[in-house]
Structure 1
């Protein structure tokens, strides 16, 4: 029969429990089958059904008692085992990560896709942008090497340190409609240009106009007070960059004329600083498809605008001067524009 002598666990502190265990070391066999341990002590073992504390042996060497091993709480055992398990399962690698383990940022993929999808030279091609083995991958079809290189150059603008894998096939042909994203972006841009021209001109204050643009075709809805106002708005839309055709659905309501004039008078009294005036005027000239804004210099001082540069015809000069005079905050226009004579 195995030795079954046990000592119940105590609530004492570890050091006090250890000293009690040392004093309790039996010098006689506590039961049959027990053999003496080191120093003449019989070692006790846990019982079969209850949790017990193992009695530590006193090891006497030249009348000096050796210090027993500290008892580690069970929750520390679990933490130690967990750390050992993590260390055993962790990959052993001291060098840089492989390229396949490096993820391509989602923002880079989105920006690259947007640049390619909205580029006018790549419209109509089915070009996919995704990640493969840590690289930004371009797949699909284009019609020649120039377009293939152009797509890769666009992706490189946002790729940063990410390598580009160009798997584009050069034997494809563009479809007539493409994915439509570029056309929708162009329509949104054209609508914003026309809306700003309406907002930043004194003569357009108080107008109730709704703008719809699809595939470069603008539709104007709303009510205005006079026929002249309607004709001017149609002309404004026709000369806005990005609009190819205009459908006029504006209704004439003379009852609105007084309110429109009051709104225009209030807008004319609005004052803005010179920086605001110059910035808005530059954009208004850029949005007009009949004006070459690159050949015109603008100077603003205390609300007085000076125009210098060249125009190709009298009608262009008149358009520039009219737009300038209608910007809120402009008090005076000094036009020194000259005509260029093309060869």
Structure 2
């Protein structure tokens, strides 16, 4: 989840419009950018991710019933959390069941923009609410909303509200709720027989790898950085051994364990290795088994390649995080972004 903080009214300059925001890493002024990054860490310099605030599910008999055409997903190609949803929607053949709009990767002072505010190639207009920014959807759902403006989010067109903005929950109800409405598929990313193994896998991969790269990149003290980078690479070592001689991490089938890990690993060499200082090793040079696993998904499973947009990925991180990269220079490498099989 990429996040934008809304300032309390008491701290907003009265000479500015009411809905002026300070986005993480968005200030043009370097000193202001440094202030913003500190807000993403506690006083001890450690990055801690906010808990998602919209947590309803789409399910039969529930508040939000599965219906074709009722729901719309807002995502960023750049965001690893949103990428989970992109892959799952494509795998489960939900393109004609659930709508999709992609934001621009250039997250500015007002947060994630749609094409109406930034016509970046590949960005969409909002066909549901005609919004300029993702924040507009949050205020439509709750005029008093005071959290952060994140993607992905699932929008209910019938009630004009946000159903859920937690990617791990979204991919699970996409997996279970719409099977009667979509083309038949034998893919089940959370099979009952493997659920304990999948949950155990997530219990350490999320904290040390998925979120671990962010704890490295947004650390504001040396101690905070070193406390994150060590566990990150210890977990990569563990993952390297786990996937040796295997095609998938859990069982002999594609599951959400592969999806959730892939969206971090595919960004590792192009972004996290340099931009987030995760440079004790690279995937292509130091983790041959993980690299093989990632390349297999990218080149052999269309849902992975078709939803991986390196232009959006690199532009977002290097353009948006001005507290880390104040001149917004986007590096050319690695070349290629992902190797051939």
Same fold (TM over 0.5): no
More strand by share: 1
TM-score by length of 1: 0.23
* TM-score, scaled relative to structure 2: 0.23
Query: Which has the bigger relative contact order, CA under 8 A and spacing at least 6?
Result: 2
